[in-house]
Structure formats: C-alpha cells, structure tokens
Amino acid sequence: MDWANTRRTFDGVRVFRTGEQWDMDVFYTAFVPVNPNGLDQLDDRREFAGAWATYRPQKGHFVDFFYLYFENENNVTQQGIVRAPTDVHTVGTRYAGDRCGLLWDFWGAMQFGDQAGQDLLAGACTASVGRHFKGACWSPTLWCCYDYASGDSNPNAGDAHTFNQLYPFGHYYLGWIDLVGRQNIHDLNAHLFLYPSNWITLWLQYHHFRLAESRDALYNAGGVAIRSDPTGAAGNNVGDEVDVVVNFHLSHNSDVLVGYSHLFGGSFLTNTAGPDNASLFYLMFQQRW
C-alpha cells in the first residue's frame, strides 16, 4: 500500500514455482502490527496462509484458483458487531483475458468457518467487461463492472454471512476515498482509461454503492465497520463516488500521481451519525531504484 504511512508487514515463509503455463504459490505468515513505542513483533494470534495457482491456457488469458486461510484469535467488536475471534476459509477462482479489444474479468469466492462461535457462510463476486478502442484518439479503454460482497441480515444472531475481505488492495477497486470496502456491498461501477501521451495516464471512475443488507454495517477499505443502523431504517443507499486520477510517468524510475475524489452521500450516510459527503485530494511522488 504505497499511499499508507506504514505498510502491512508479515513474517512467514513462501514457496513458489513459475512456468510457461502454470504458476504455483504457497505461503504461511503471521501479521506484524505496528508498535509505535518499540520494535514491531508478529502477532501469532493472527495467521494468514494460502495456496494460489495461475493457469495461462493461451496468451492474454489467465485462470486463477486459490485457497486462503485466516485466523484471528483476538476479540474484535465494531459498531456493536462481533467480528472476531474468527477462522475463515476462502476458496475461489478468477478468469480474465482479452481478445480483439474485448476484455473480461470474472471472479468469485465462497467463505466458510467460524465467527465468534457462529457458523460462517459468505461469498463475493465480480463481473467486469471492457473494450479497448485501440485506434481511437487517446486509446481509450472502458470497463463496466459489478462487485458484490455478502452481508448479514441479522448480525450477532444465528449464522454469520458477512464476507471478510481479508487484506485487500483497497481503493483500486472500490473508490479512492477508501470509505467502502468489499464487505456487505453492491457496487455498480465504470472505469475509463485514457492515454493523452505515452507518459500520461488519465483514469476516471464512477461508483454507485448500496449495502447488501441494511441492518449490517458499512465497512471501509480496511474492513472496519464505520457506520451502521441496527434497525435498517437508514436504508441501504450509501451514495455515488467520482474519482479522477492522473499518473505522470516521468522516467523509468519516477512517477507523479494526482487525484481528486468526491463521495455524494446517499440516504444511509445522511441518516446515520457523521458526515454524509467526503472529498479527497491526492498527490504522490514515487521513486524506484
């Protein structure tokens, strides 16, 4: 996470193999939280492990198969919802590719396990189709996407159904403001990439967010429950977000990223405590060596 003051850190072991058609990756880690007053040490109560395979049947086509295991033995309660201790098993697959300018990216996962003594059964999926207009001015690429992650109609009672996004990449997929994560959410979104020059990339995003379950919480990009209405009376319309991001590729080692985002809050944000609109201006210089 290049935009964060401190990156996520893990201690562990990884074994991987790369080939012409198959890549295999197996890992086991423990999370290392930041200790502002001393040396960081791993938290052996938070384990993250998995196996990932990528198959390339032909050039430009990718099929992923994965299993992920996450355990958090710590007690975690957010917005009155008990999120841990938990054991989460995630199995899923992804198929992405392009052919003659037509692009696609489909992804799905199911989760099962235990959350605070409740049986966990949850799921998430993404369906994206796009088009690269290679011969047009600025070589535009347009994507239309739908993202879904399950929520719980009655948190803390019965089985648990809120998808756990684990350690996500964040705003790359669900808006740069980071107020919406891949949990209890419907996201209809569109992305337009433009290339005014071979060293400038313009990226426009639009998102329409709705809660999957109105009695469950809104979770941010870090997976933290930040707003909720246990009665469901606030509705499920989170709002609409617009993002404008420009990357200037100055050299092989240097980039400047500039962005502006605005979230127009819907009824859910209006009817729960806190601001109902948000804006973000972003400027980053990156040097690689």
Q: If phi over 0 gives left and psi between -120 and 50 gives alpha, with beta otherwise, what is residue 285?
A: beta
**DSSP per-residue letters across the chain:** -TTSSS---EEEEEEEEE-SSEEEEEEEEEE----TTS-----TTEEEEEEEEEE-SSTTEEEEEEEEEEEEEEEEEETTEEEEEEEEEEEEEEEEEEETTEEEEEEEEEEEEEETTEEEEEEEEEEEEEEE-TTSTT--EEEEEEEEE---SSTTSSSB------S---HHHH-TT----SSSEEEEEEEEEEEEETTEEEEEEEEEEEESSTTS-EE-TTS-EEE--TTSTT-SEEEEEEEEEEEEE-SSSEEEEEEEEEEEE-HHHHTSSS-SEEEEEEEEEEE--
Instruction: Give per-residue pLDDT as tens, 210-265.
Output: 999 999 999 999 899 999 999 999 999 999 999 999 999 999 999 999 999 999 99
- Structure confidence at residue 31 (pLDDT): 95
pTM of the model: 0.94
pLDDT band at 47 (very low <50, low <70, confident <90, very high): very high
Task: Parse the chain into domains and list their residue ranges.
Answer: 123-287
Instruction: Give per-residue pLDDT as tens, 74-114.
Output: 999 999 999 999 999 999 999 999 999 999 999 999 999 99
Is the pLDDT reported for residue 40 higher than 70?
yes
Measured over the CA atoms of residue 97, residue 207, residue 227 and residue 43, the dihedral's sign is positive
**DSSP per-residue letters across 211-241:** ESSTTS-EE-TTS-EEE--TTSTT-SEEEEE
The number of C-alpha atoms within 13 Å of 150 and in the hemisphere containing its C-beta is: 20
CATH code assigned to 123-287: 2.40.160.100
* φ, ψ of residue 50 in degrees (nearest 5): 175, 175
Instruction: Give per-residue pLDDT as tens, 143-184.
Output: 999 999 999 999 988 899 999 999 987 677 899 999 999 999
| Greater pLDDT, 68 or 169 | 68
Judge whether 71 and 49 are in contact, CB under 8 Å.
no
